[in-house]
Structure 1
Amino acid sequence: MLSQVLLAPLFAKRASAFTSDSFAPPAECPTCLSANYTGMPNGSLPLSPWVSGAAYDQIITIWLENTDFAAAAASSTFQKLAAEGILLTNYNGVTHPSEPNYLAAVGGDFWGIGDDEFYAIPSNASTVVDLLEAKNVSWATYQESMPTDGDGEFAYYSHNYLNASAPDYRYYVRKHNPFVIYNSIASIPDRALRIRNFNDFAVDVNASALPQYVWITPNLVNDAHDTDVTFVSAWLEYWLVPLLQNPKFNTNKTLIQVTFDENESYTIQNTVYTVLLGGAVPSNLKGTNDSTFYTHYSLLSSVQNNWDLGNLGRQDTNATVAAVFDFQANITKYQNTKPSSDPMMNLTGIFPGPGNTEIWTPVLAPNTSAKGAGSGKTYYNASVIDLTLTSYTHLNLTAMNAVNPDTINPNYTYNEAAIANATNKPTSVPVYIAPSTTSGSPSGTASGSKSASSAATTSGGAVKLATGAGGSLAVIAAGIIALL
């Protein structure tokens, strides 16, 4: 049964909606198919030549939730992982709460977001996907309990496999899936269908088809969001520990990052327990600590440095907060910048940007003269980015009684039958369904149900926009639309 916990005040230690159920494996093994993963497999990704990296040929990042460094450090499981890798003792989230941290690690900015609501970052914001694809480095993300590939809904309730007598449980949420939040990824079928679920993961591992850049998001109980360190430790023992011995998952050129999105206590520095594992970790560094100041932007800069990629011209090029992993910097001869004092990374909700409705700006142009950790140039899509838009007087859209355009659901969905028939060619037969304007009764599936966002909901294919003050549909000024 689920225990209901009130939300804690902002900047106080936060309480999650803990489940009292004990950990139970969602599948017979980490590479086994399971109905508990909700979505059916979509065949394996196509095999493609790997691009050699300086320190590793593959990076797998596994994201866990809302845990203070000390709490994770007290777990025997995390201690065991640290003994097999490099413990980064000064790795930090970039803000609070969860969603902006995920976005920052993929797009180099958290866009002013200070909550976990529905956002769709406009297509003029580039991401790590653009950088990887420019060098033909393959990628995918695997989202546990996501119902279909490329799914973009706010949340999904499916069968409660921990307690069969309980109602369907909200195992999957959009806010932990940064790739689908960026329209530059979600709006392109070939990219959206690389947003895959854990049944896809099992198929890809067994087919030796895992790509070079892999992002893993467990569901809300297995990532500790709705549970605790004891629960996530049990999940890691079941899922990750065996995979470390699987050569189809962990090769001698694989780097595995286990990290948390943010800590639990808002009033202290946002340091999170992060360990680097895998065959790419030099044997003489296993069981060591690295006290370099890192943030989630360091994941971006390290990837750029490893494959000599371009940059995004955002915080990934801010050397103070985007240090390259030290063991890697020693290999590539990259010189990290040591800050005179560590910046505080626990501020939230005070920065302007497209995700802050009270201090709203459009997506500003990247710094095209910025230097990243790779030698490539700043990437931007010239067809959608205005390089002259380097500053903007922010607007209070709430006071204007206007909807934040970046909270409107673009409703990118993909035909489930086409996805199911895409065996071994998941990016070759996408069928994009444009947003419907017809209304109808709410729809669900046999395996679960959808949860609408506060910004926009889908009901029988219809898109319902949020209402402004007084309940009337807010009108977005033409000037704002023109900037998107």
Structure 2
Amino acid sequence: MRLKMKSGGRVPGRRRSRAVRVVVAVALAVISTACQGPSGGGTPVPDPTTTITGSSPSPTSASSPPGSPAPTAAAGKIGHVFVINLENQSYNKTWGPDSAAPYLSQTLRSQGVLLTQYYGVAHHSNPNYLAQISGQASNPMTRNDCTTYAPFIQTGTADPGQVLGSGCVYPASVPTLAGQLSDAGKTWKGYMEDMGTPCRHPSPGAKDNSQNAKINDQYATRHNPFVYFTSITSSPGCRDNVVDYSNLAKDLQSAATTPDLAYVSPNLCHDGHDSPCVDGQPGGLESADLWLKEQVPAILNSPAYRQDGVLVITFDEADGNATGPSGLPGGTAGGLVGALVLSPFTSPGTSSGTMYNHYSLLATMEDIFSLPRLGYAAAPGLPSFGPDVFSAHP
């Protein structure tokens, strides 16, 4: 390329040489910029001012479903969290070599971080779900899956942030992750398969008739933690935020319409609880895996996930009466279940042996959204997901 210069007067030899060098340098810089394209087209740099407990600032990208471009994590930090809970499977059955869930244990496993020491906190189902959004420990009625939708009778308080007593429907004074998000100006939704009517739950004091699946209605109240907190059910927003799963597809169409927290509970067949299912499906891990294969790609290909999302797939409790080792705040009484974390902020095909439980998931979500930790999530020594899980600043 020939550069033409036009001078308005004579420049002495040394000054002319210096002027030529300056102009040439500027021109070359312009050419270099044009060849590289517009700024911002390279690997995004995570925001160094945004941290999560123990996280590390080295950027990475997770694997994508076949035929889709790689997620970019363009926002530099996690902004959308998706949680899917499945039911009653031990770690070895789910993640072992003979797993009846090859899509989860192999296909998705190759795209995320497997937490090999992730535990439920109680038996049966209900207290594990409650732990994930409130940090409250189990009590006799929640451990019995709240067959009666009974108000919680409080007898006292204890550290860390626990209300003592027994019952199912906690008073409005008990805080939740949902309330924290709303107070912080963020959005959340619970997507409950087969729920139909928004914010559906029994009348106070009534028997819970959703304990057993029915044809065309396999919704389980006990797998919907949001309706066990008066602060949520007494709010007009409950009908807008606790909705049937069928609403998720529309909400995923853009990042703006996807809530900051999307919490998904499949029905009693698709979560692996029933085997066989009331509608004739095989149930167990086989039906759960088929449901994941049909539904998860819509999340992984959504604008919100690809921009700044994380998807956590886990189980409420292990089967039987399995428990875990001591030493983790909040306990491991629900047994070893494992959890898979997929995100543009994770390294695909990796694993972590750090001990976590459902309170750790709550702590992680609160850290992501810069919220105070609730209940056992705030217990000293309770770990949230760190650099063993997130390889870039979330």
Give me the TM-score of the superposition, normalised by structure 2: 0.63
Cα distance in 2 for partners of 1:145, 1:136 equals 29
8 Å CA contact 2:122, 2:138 repeated in 1: no
CA distance 1:305–1:139, change in 2 (3 Å): same
- 1:251 aligns with 306
Cα distance in 1 for partners of 2:312, 2:121 equals 17
Shift of 1:248: 3.3
Instruction: Give runs of aligned pairs for residues 63-78 of structure 1, distance below 5 A.
Output: 63-73=85-95, 74=99, 75-77=101-103, 78=105
- In the alignment, structure 1 segments of 5+ residues that lack a partner are 1-51, 161-166, 334-484
Secondary structure of the corresponding residue to residue 191 of structure 2: strand
Cα offsets for 1:236-264 (capped at 9, x unmatched): 111113542x2335213100000101111
Quick one: higher RCO (CA 8 Å, sep 6+), 1 or 2? 2
Cα distance in 1 for partners of 2:232, 2:75 equals 24
- 2:240 aligns with 193
Cα distance in 1 for partners of 2:209, 2:260 equals 28
Cα distance in 2 for partners of 1:157, 1:298 equals 28
* 1:286 corresponds to 2:348: yes
- 1:300 aligns with 362
Aligned residue pair count: 270
CA distance 1:124–1:157, change in 2 (3 Å): closer
8 Å CA contact 1:155, 1:170 repeated in 2: no
Cα distance in 1 for partners of 2:119, 2:87 equals 13
CA distance 1:210–1:130, change in 2 (3 Å): same
Secondary structure of the corresponding residue to residue 206 of structure 1: coil
Cα offsets for 1:305-333 (capped at 9, x unmatched): 12221222x20111434433444677569
Cα offsets for 1:252-298 (capped at 9, x unmatched): 310000010111131342111310013332xxx21000111111111
8 Å CA contact 2:118, 2:336 repeated in 1: yes
Give me the TM-score of the superposition, normalised by structure 1: 0.52
Cα distance in 2 for partners of 1:184, 1:53 equals 32
Cα distance in 1 for partners of 2:107, 2:380 equals 31
8 Å CA contact 2:252, 2:299 repeated in 1: no
8 Å CA contact 2:219, 2:267 repeated in 1: yes
Cα distance in 2 for partners of 1:317, 1:288 equals 27
**CA-based RMSD:** 2.5
Cα distance in 1 for partners of 2:269, 2:197 equals 19
- 2:376 aligns with 315
Secondary structure of the corresponding residue to residue 360 of structure 2: helix
Cα distance in 2 for partners of 1:237, 1:62 equals 13
- 1:89 aligns with 116
- 1:262 aligns with 317
- 1:149 aligns with 198
8 Å CA contact 1:150, 1:180 repeated in 2: yes
- The structure richer in helix per residue is 2
8 Å CA contact 2:137, 2:376 repeated in 1: no
Cα distance in 1 for partners of 2:337, 2:77 equals 24
* 1:182 corresponds to 2:244: no
The structure number with the bigger radius of gyration is: 2
- 2:9 aligns with none
Quick one: which amino acid aligns to residue 115 of structure 1? N
- In the alignment, structure 2 segments of 5+ residues that lack a partner are 1-73, 150-167, 203-207, 275-282, 325-334
CA distance 1:155–1:197, change in 2 (3 Å): farther
Cα distance in 2 for partners of 1:157, 1:111 equals 18
